């Protein structure tokens, strides 16, 4: 668990491009589950990469304080899990970080199997990571982040490749842990189910910062930042869904 302070972060990937982030400031209290929501290109991944120290911002500061008041660290699961899977087998990939930190191979293997079991992926332990399906890769990458027990867990579109059961299991797993968690996503249904708070990014700026459900239920606001209502609160979905059920019941 840890506290994060993001102070006036701006970022430009190159001089000719528009700013990916523009004066973004917020703080996250220990144990909070924050969703960073926004349309494609709004700056979500850039923000997570900066918090994880993978990208140095053009300006501004990040500080992470752990429970003891010391400097804390964030662990990230990338939007493209291929970026973090490179060992011959899945379990070795999951164990890579703790082996580097000094765990012996036997203990590391046991802990890797336990982390894989947490994301319902124990059966993938001996597989080659590059042969996995998209959702399997996402689970393996998540196990690799969980095992590190970092102060803050950063997840970039963690449900994008998951099937409905894996998505539900992930939501339950995240709900049942006390770690400070930041999730970048346009899956507003997940935000509704899982997050305490949501920050909406629009063109690199914070458009709103509110407790959940708050603006997740405000269709007019969501449309101004190119998002749509979550399906769970969207009347069109219910109507369409009942029509489909009705017509299939009529078909012999
Ligand atoms: N490596 C890069 N080099 C140059 N521009 C980049 C790079 N990565 C991202 N950008 C640009 O920065 C802006 C923010 O991108 P970012 O990936 O942070 O958006 P995002 O909110 O994560 O989008 P998505 O929902 O598609 O994942 C976009 O305009 C994007 O084109
Ligand atoms: Mg992204």
Q: What is the CATH number of the domain that holds 12?
A: 3.40.50.300
Q: Which of 190-194, 231-235, 243-247 comes out lowest in average pLDDT?
A: 243-247
User: Is residue 246 over pLDDT 50?
Assistant: no
CB neighbour list of residue 116: distance below 8 Å, 6 or more residues apart: 90, 91, 94, 122, 124, 125, 139, 140, 143
| Domain containing residue 38 | 2-250
Indicate whether residue 43 lines ligand 1 (CB < 6 A).
yes
Residue 207 has pLDDT above 80, yes or no: yes
pLDDT exceeds 60 at position 243: no
Separation between Cα atoms, residue 252 and residue 237, nearest integer Å: 25
Which ligand sits closest to the CA of 24? 1
CA of 142 to the centre of ligand 1 (A): 22
HSE (side-chain half, CA atoms, 13 Å) at 154: 22
Among the atoms of ligand 1, which is closest to the Cα of residue 46?
18
Q: How many residues does the chain have?
A: 252
Residue 247 has pLDDT above 70, yes or no: no
Number of domains the chain contains:
1
Residues 66-105 have pLDDT tens digits of 878 888 999 999 998 887 788 999 999 999 999 999 999 9
Q: Can you point out the beta strands (E) in 29-102?
A: 33-37, 59-66, 74-77
What is the 45 CA–ligand 2 centroid distance (Å)?
A: 4
Tell me the range of 8-22, 39-53, 66-80 where mean pLDDT is highest.
39-53
CB 84 within 8 A of CB 144: yes
| Closest atom of ligand 1 relative to the 186 alpha carbon | 25
More confident residue, 250 or 6: 6
Pocket test for ligand 1, best of 10, 16, 18, 20 (most atoms within 8 A of CB): 20
Q: Tell me the residues surrounding ligand 2 (ion) with CB < 5 Å.
A: 44-45, 79
Q: Does the beta carbon of 42 lie inside 6 Å of ligand 1?
A: yes
pTM of the model: 0.90
How far is it, in rounded angstroms, from Cα 11 to Cα 51? 12
Question: What share of the chain has pLDDT > 90, as a percent?
Answer: 73
Whether the pLDDT of residue 233 is over 70: the answer is: yes
pLDDT for the residue numbered 236: 52
């Amino acid at each position: 668990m840890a506290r994060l302070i993001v102070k006036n972060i701006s970022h430009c990937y190159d001089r000719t491009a528009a700013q990916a982030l523009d004066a973004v400031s917020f703080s996250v209290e220990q144990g909070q589950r924050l969703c960073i929501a926004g349309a494609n290109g709004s700056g979500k991944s850039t923000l997570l990469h900066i918090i994880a120290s993978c990208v140095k911002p053009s300006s501004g500061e990040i500080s992470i304080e752990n429970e003891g008041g010391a400097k804390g660290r964030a662990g990230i699961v990338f939007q493209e899990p291929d970026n973090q899977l490179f060992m011959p087998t899945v379990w070795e990939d999951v164990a890579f970080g703790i082996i580097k930190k000094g765990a012996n191979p036997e203990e590391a293997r046991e802990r890797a199997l336990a982390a894989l079991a947490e994301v319902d992926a124990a059966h993938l332990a001996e597989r080659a990571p590059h042969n996995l399906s998209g959702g399997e890769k996402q689970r393996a990458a998540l196990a690799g982040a969980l095992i590190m027990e970092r102060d803050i867990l950063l997840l970039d579109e963690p449900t994008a490749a998951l099937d409905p059961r894996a998505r539900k299991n992930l939501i339950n797993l995240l709900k049942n842990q006390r770690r400070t968690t930041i999730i970048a996503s346009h899956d507003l249904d997940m935000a509704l189910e899982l997050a305490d708070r949501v920050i909406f990014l629009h063109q690199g700026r914070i458009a709103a910062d509110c407790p959940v459900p708050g603006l997740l239920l405000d269709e007019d606001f969501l449309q101004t930042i190119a998002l749509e209502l979550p399906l769970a609160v969207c009347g069109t979905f219910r109507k369409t869904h009942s029509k489909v059920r009705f017509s299939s019941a009529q078909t012999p």
